[in-house]
Amino acid sequence: MAYWLIKSEPDEISFDDLLKAPDCTVAWFGVRNYQARNFMRDQMCVGDGVLFYHSSCAVPGVAGIAAVASGAYPDASQFDLASPYHDAKATPAAPRWVSVDVKALHKGNFVSLSALRTMASLDDMVLLQKGSRLSISPVTALEWHAIVAAVGGEGAVDGVLTTV
């Protein structure tokens, strides 16, 4: 099992929006960075843990715990002419971008970026490195457990990730 941090602007989709979605699941679409796309396409697996991070807002931070709920599939927004995520070079026969489904597991405590920066176990976390702007980044097991504990979700996600 792997662990990931995914960023969302809460005015686009917040963790509360995810909790209100049917089956608490949404398609993670609109990723237009090749490295992030490759993580989704090549490494994310059903049941992987997800730290749902609110970015580009007054107080960024981890808003909840989720899981990858599907394998990668073509992102429909790349074909939609009206979408801000449209890609004129993508075709249904040769899609360039993928989506995965993400399922909410536990809301718990909001853990702000400033609080994350104070946790010694997170010193090497990709999110906290200067210039880190990826919308999806890998998280180590140590980082995952430290943040899940801060969220207050250790009991709430034990065993759930493999049954998503």
3-state secondary structure the chain: CCEEEEEECCCCCCHHHHHHCHHHEEEECCCCCHHHHHHHHHHCCCCCEEEEEECCCCCCEEEEEEEECCCCEECHHHHCCCCCCCCCCCECCECCCEEEEEEEEECCCCEEHHHHHCCHHHCCCHHHCCCCCCCEEEECHHHHHHHHHHHCCHHHHCCCHHHC
Q: Where are the domains of the chain?
A: 3-154
Homologous superfamily of domain range 3-154: ph1033 like domains (3.10.590.10)
Percent of the chain residues past pLDDT 90, beyond the cut: 89
Of residues 20 and 133, which shows the higher confidence score?
A: 20
Q: State the average pLDDT over residues 20-30.
A: 96
Check pLDDT > 90 for residue 164: no
Average pLDDT for 151-163: 72
pLDDT at 161: 66
What is the model's pTM?
0.94
- What is the predicted pLDDT for the residue at 134? 87
User: 87-90: long-range contacts (C-beta < 8 A, 24 or more apart)?
Assistant: 87/32
